[in-house]
Amino acid sequence: MTSDPLLDGYRIPDGSCDELLETDGRPREHVRALLAALRRLGPEALTDAGRRRDVIFMQQGITFEVSGAGGERRDRPFPLDLVPRVLTAGEWTVIKRGLAQRIRALNAFVDDVYHGREIVRAGIVPWSLIVSRPSFARPVHGIRAPGGVYTHVSGCDLVRAGDGSWRVLEDNVRTPSGISYVLENRLAMTRLMPELFAGQRVRPVENYPSLLLEALQAVAPSPDSDPTVVLWTPGPLNGAYFEHAFLARAMGIELVEASDLVVRDSVCYMRTTGGLRRVHTIYRRLDDDFIDPLEFRPDSVLGVPGLVRAYRAGTVAIANAIGTGVADDKAIYHYVPEMVRFYLSEEPILENVPTYLLSDETVRRWILGRLHEVVVKPTSESGGKGVFIGPQASAEERADEARLIEAHPELYIAQELVHLSTAPTETGDGRLAPRHVDLRPFAVFGEQIRIVPGGLTRVALREGSMIVNSSQGGGSKDTWVLADGDLLEGLPPGLAAREPPRLPDVRYGGWHGQAQQQQQQAAI
Amino acid sequence: MHFAIRYVTRYRYDGDVVDNINALRIRPATSGRQQVDHFTVRLSPEVRQHRHEDYFGTDVIEFEVTRSHRELIIDASAHVRTEPQPDPPSGTWEGLAVPGYREAGGEYLMQTDTAAGHPLLAELEAELADARTPLEAVLRTSEVIPDRLEYRKGATYVDSTLGDVLDVRAGVCQDFVHLGLNLLRSRGIAARYVSGYLYTRAEPLGEAGDRAASVEVDTHAWIEALLPNAGGEPRWVSIDPTNRGLVGECHVKIGHGRHYADVPPIKGVYRGSAESALEASVTMTRIEPVG
């Protein structure tokens, strides 16, 4: 391959499965057409498209905030790599079935945790572990979500291990973000590199907003055929505000903030210029803590007081349901394959990465002796924060990590290091190099579970790095699922991309809290 | 003992407020040694009440006053019968390690607030260090707290932390309970926060009848600790670190939780720029048993 300017110096890291080349160096069958198209274009076309991409993304505001070395915040374009990642129809079928199975089990777990606790009584998941999760939401104990659906939107992170098998690295059933990049990336790629799509049958992704809207309408507790669905954003200061606005516009629904919502007599309404309007489903993009100051953080000014009561009365669906965080906790993750067996009586299609809970002393000793080999994660962080990668850590860093674990073993899990697969990635000079990738497919659960083909492929742009988070030097790729004739789904129904009407700025004074201190003088 | 309880809370606002939404946890609990014969809440302005039982088993009443108002009155009445608690079990320290105990203790074994390294906390821990049984540790906890801290209203606030309380070496019953919970849990004893009412007159029913037996009190807080029981199920035992020792028939329980925030008597929010002034009174009257 050395004669090929595109692949000059393409060296696959030890232990990783490369998605472009077989072990013998020949291109894999399903990417040959793509590789041929890239060769026809040549390196100059790639660098040129890269420049156009940066200009367009900056203009459209598809940027994210990064901290500079001096701590200053600045926007930079979300780095879209110009080489799509390609999955075969057969591969996708396995992923899709595996995810649907897993999401059904996670949904059943959420329902169980807040009701009968069957899985605890069966001795599979310890109750003490559940109640010690910060995301265990006592206020929704005994509340059954409309339609029995809790995990309306999920974005589980998948990785491909050295042997080519797909594994679940992390579940995400709170408010996963990233779908807007999937849609934007596809749109950008069809404009920047239309030549790549020629002769390929790539399954479309643009029907996501309609799938989501259908799911949100399907769970609406309403006899009406036209329920009102809103998207609740914490506001423009939120890092994912772009996505909130994007999705609301694509679905043609109102983008609201807490001050636009009010609960009257156990029913949720939205303030409009024409008065109050009943809301049936709230797609909320903020944490449980900020939902209702009466039930969660009393200092929350973002919340809607009384919303949990309306939810308890069954008059409003909240997506995702309150309290789903207990299911995607990193310590609970360990038990998900058991959940699949327990709730569904099925064998898991997608396996976990081997994971160890460090509260057990024997396990902890064993892991502390292997810190140079394993990955350690805090159980209640996300976005790659606090992740310790043993093989890349210095002796000093390992000693620091060991001290952290010893101090609070229950706050950490250890995982075997997965050598993430690599995919060909443009390196800035028009040539390709293997870079580590993961995959976050997005599933929506209304009447049934629907998964958009592909998902967000995140790529660690730094050579050798396995941290794919955008906050830590990661980029993304357009993800293609190739269509087999018989798997091709119908084209999505067109969605009017109308601007939602602006809400009047109806704001009263702030909320005030009232609480009495318990104080009683000594008796007698 | 039989009690009539009247709990009246009045909020006055210096301007119009709307959307006044509240959750009340004030209904006495029904348990093996406590029976509620009667319970009503009257609200002014009069609005609909929504009842449910929360995660901890506490009865909750929620209501909202939507329209503009300048005063809110919550007027609750209850008739309750209580019985004394049986003698506490005196299981051993080893009894805390068995799976059955850990399971029953659950989340009440976990700290909700810490002040690790605080010198006063270390002193208190030292006082409990040589307790021979968990029961002894529990009883001593109810003694050392009033010994070392001053009961003083105004020394702390509704959301004071354990560190704040230890710093000022003073507090109210809520603070004493939080401190006691920390001490017990750090010894591996499951302990929970109890909210309720305490009848504070010890003398028998006077000749003058009901009036003489009426006392003005406040809502109160104490502790339930889970004690291992040799050859039996572990049992929750109530102690009162404000008044020392075991809880008797004069304590009327509303509910329990991990800490205050799980069982606040009244929690609410309203919209409007007005400030509020609060008046609250709890009147407890001992009444003759009927029949």
Nearest beta carbon to residue A306 from set B64, B151, B262 = B64
Which residue of B lies nearest to A120 if distances are taken between CA atoms?
B103
- Mean pLDDT, range A193-209, rounded to an integer: 94
Asked if B73 reaches chain A (Cβ–Cβ under 8 Å), the answer is no
Taking the alpha carbons at both ends of chain B, their separation in whole angstroms is 13
Q: What is the pLDDT of residue B159?
A: 85
ipTM of this complex prediction, to 2 decimal places? 0.90
Asked if B211 reaches chain A (Cβ–Cβ under 8 Å), the answer is no
Query: Does the residue A374 lie in any domain?
Result: yes
Asked whether the beta carbons of A482 and A89 are under 8 A apart, the reply is yes
Interstrand relation of B276-286 and B2-24 (parallel, antiparallel or unpaired): antiparallel
Asked whether the beta carbons of B128 and B90 are under 8 A apart, the reply is no
Length in residues, chain B? 291
- What residues in A contact B21, CB-CB < 8 Å? 263, 294, 305-306
Cβ of A520 within 8 Å of Cβ of B66? The answer is no
Nearest beta carbon to residue B270 from set A512, A521, A522 = A512
Name the nearest CA neighbour of A516 among B22, B61, B241: B22
* A494 pLDDT above the threshold of 60: no
Query: Does the residue A337 lie in any domain?
Result: no
Cβ of B200 within 8 Å of Cβ of A262? The answer is no
CATH for B2-82+265-286 is 2.60.40.2250
Cβ of A262 within 8 Å of Cβ of B19? The answer is yes
Asked whether the beta carbons of B226 and B175 are under 8 A apart, the reply is no
| Test mutation, A127, A518, A524, chain B, max B CBs within 10 A | A518
Asked whether the beta carbons of B23 and A294 are under 8 A apart, the reply is yes
Query: Does the residue A485 lie in any domain?
Result: no
Name the nearest CA neighbour of A383 among A441, A469, A468: A469
Locate B2 and state its tokens: 């039989």
Instruction: Please tell me whether residue B193 adopts helix, strand or coil conformation.
Output: strand
* A420 pLDDT above the threshold of 90: yes
Cβ of B219 within 8 Å of Cβ of A305? The answer is no
- What residues in A contact B276, CB-CB < 8 Å? 512, 514
Q: What is the largest CA-CA distance in chain A?
A: 96
Least confident of A136-140, A395-399, A495-499, B257-261: A495-499
Query: Does the residue A395 lie in any domain?
Result: yes
* Shortest CA gap A317–chain B (Å): 19
Residues near A120 by Cβ (< 8 Å), separated by ≥ 6?
A126, A127, A130
How many whole angstroms separate alpha carbon A322 and alpha carbon A332?
17
Query: Does the residue A466 lie in any domain?
Result: no
Q: What is the pLDDT of residue B212?
A: 54
Number of domains forming the structure of chain A: 1
Cβ of B266 within 8 Å of Cβ of A514? The answer is yes
Cβ of A141 within 8 Å of Cβ of B11? The answer is no
Q: What is the pLDDT of residue A337?
A: 97
Cβ of B202 within 8 Å of Cβ of A523? The answer is yes
Least confident of A329-333, A425-429, A467-471, B107-111: A467-471
Tokens 């209850």 identify what position?
B78
Helix B134-148 × helix B173-186 angle, to 10°? 140
Instruction: Name A168's bridge partners.
Output: A158, A352
Nearest beta carbon to residue B198 from set A295, A305, A520 = A520
How many whole angstroms separate alpha carbon A452 and alpha carbon A440?
11
Q: What is the pLDDT of residue B273?
A: 86
Interstrand relation of A281-284 and A317-319 (parallel, antiparallel or unpaired): parallel
Report how far Cα B262 is from the mean position of its chain's Cα atoms. Answer: 10
DSSP designation for A505? -
Q: What is the pLDDT of residue A498?
A: 34
Query: What's phi and psi for A455, nearest 5 deg?
Result: 130, -165
pLDDT band at A497 (very low <50, low <70, confident <90, very high): very low
Q: Per residue in A19-76, pLDDT tens? A: 999 988 999 999 999 999 999 999 899 999 999 988 887 777 666 665 555 556 666 6
- What residues in A contact B200, CB-CB < 8 Å? 520-521, 523-524
- Between residues A231 and A128, the one the model is more confident about: A231
- Which residues between 86 and 115 in chain B have a beta carbon less than 8 angstroms from any beta carbon of chain A? 102-103, 106-107, 109-110
* Shortest CA gap A104–chain B (Å): 25
How many whole angstroms separate alpha carbon A503 and alpha carbon A260?
8
Asked if B151 reaches chain A (Cβ–Cβ under 8 Å), the answer is yes
Q: Per residue in A212-231, pLDDT tens? A: 999 999 999 977 778 999 99
- Mean pLDDT, range A473-502, rounded to an integer: 59
How many whole angstroms separate alpha carbon A169 and alpha carbon A157?
5
Identify whether A172 is preceded by a cis peptide bond (ω within 30 of 0): no
Asked whether the beta carbons of B80 and B30 are under 8 A apart, the reply is no
Asked if B64 reaches chain A (Cβ–Cβ under 8 Å), the answer is yes
Give the residue numbers in A contacting B (CB under 8 Å), as ranges.
127-128, 131-132, 138-139, 141-142, 262-266, 293-295, 298, 305-306, 309, 312-313, 508-524
| Test mutation, A138, A144, A322, A514, chain B, max B CBs within 10 A | A514
* H or E element at residue B78: strand B69-82
Taking the alpha carbons at both ends of chain A, their separation in whole angstroms is 93
Asked if B33 reaches chain A (Cβ–Cβ under 8 Å), the answer is no
Query: Does the residue A346 lie in any domain?
Result: no
How many whole angstroms separate alpha carbon A314 and alpha carbon A222?
10
Q: What is the pLDDT of residue A500?
A: 37
How many whole angstroms separate alpha carbon A437 and alpha carbon A29?
20
Query: Does the residue A205 lie in any domain?
Result: no
Q: How far is CA B241 from CA A432, B132, B260, in A?
A: 71, 20, 15
- What residues in A contact B202, CB-CB < 8 Å? 523-524
Hey, how many other C-beta atoms are within 10 angstroms of the C-beta on B29?
Answer: 19
Tell me the H-state helices in A138-256: 179-192, 194-197, 208-218, 241-251
* Shortest CA gap A397–chain B (Å): 25
Cβ of B56 within 8 Å of Cβ of A128? The answer is no
Cβ of A263 within 8 Å of Cβ of B272? The answer is no
How many whole angstroms separate alpha carbon B281 and alpha carbon B218?
7
Inter-residue long-range contacts of A397-400, CB under 8 Å, 24+ positions, other chains counted: A398/A371, A398/A372
* A158 pLDDT above the threshold of 80: yes
CATH number of the domain within which A377 lies: 3.30.1490.270
Q: What is the pLDDT of residue A296?
A: 81
Least confident of A73-77, A85-89, A483-487, B80-84: A483-487
How many whole angstroms separate alpha carbon B10 and alpha carbon B6?
13
- Between residues B189 and A2, the one the model is more confident about: B189
* Mean pLDDT, chain A, integer: 87
What type of residue sits at position A116? G
Locate A337 and state its tokens: 């394959």
- Between residues A285 and A518, the one the model is more confident about: A285
Cβ of A264 within 8 Å of Cβ of B66? The answer is yes
- Mean pLDDT, range A137-142, rounded to an integer: 96
Asked whether the beta carbons of B93 and B64 are under 8 A apart, the reply is no
Instruction: Name B270's bridge partners.
Output: A512
- What residues in A contact B99, CB-CB < 8 Å? none
Length in residues, chain A? 524
- Mean pLDDT, range A11-26, rounded to an integer: 92
Name the nearest CA neighbour of B121 among B172, B164, B173: B164
Asked if B238 reaches chain A (Cβ–Cβ under 8 Å), the answer is no
* Shortest CA gap B241–chain A (Å): 10
Residues near A337 by Cβ (< 8 Å), separated by ≥ 6?
A348, A351, A352
| Test mutation, B21, B195, B259, B260, chain A, max A CBs within 10 A | B21
Name the nearest CA neighbour of A457 among A37, A99, A162, A160: A160
Hey, how many other C-beta atoms are within 10 angstroms of the C-beta on A63?
Answer: 14
Nearest beta carbon to residue A512 from set B172, B217, B276 = B276
Q: Which fold has domain B93-262?
A: C8orf32 fold (3.10.620)
Interstrand relation of A229-232 and A281-284 (parallel, antiparallel or unpaired): parallel
Least confident of A202-206, A452-456, A494-498: A494-498
Query: Does the residue A388 lie in any domain?
Result: yes
Q: Name residues of chain B where pLDDT drops below 70.
A: 202-212, 289-291
Locate A452 and state its tokens: 């958009």
Cβ of A515 within 8 Å of Cβ of B264? The answer is yes
Name the nearest CA neighbour of A86 among A461, A482, A360, A518: A482
* Shortest CA gap A514–chain B (Å): 5
* Shortest CA gap B158–chain A (Å): 5
Residue ranges of domains in chain B: 2-82+265-286, 93-262
Which residue of A lies nearest to B11 if distances are taken between CA atoms?
A514
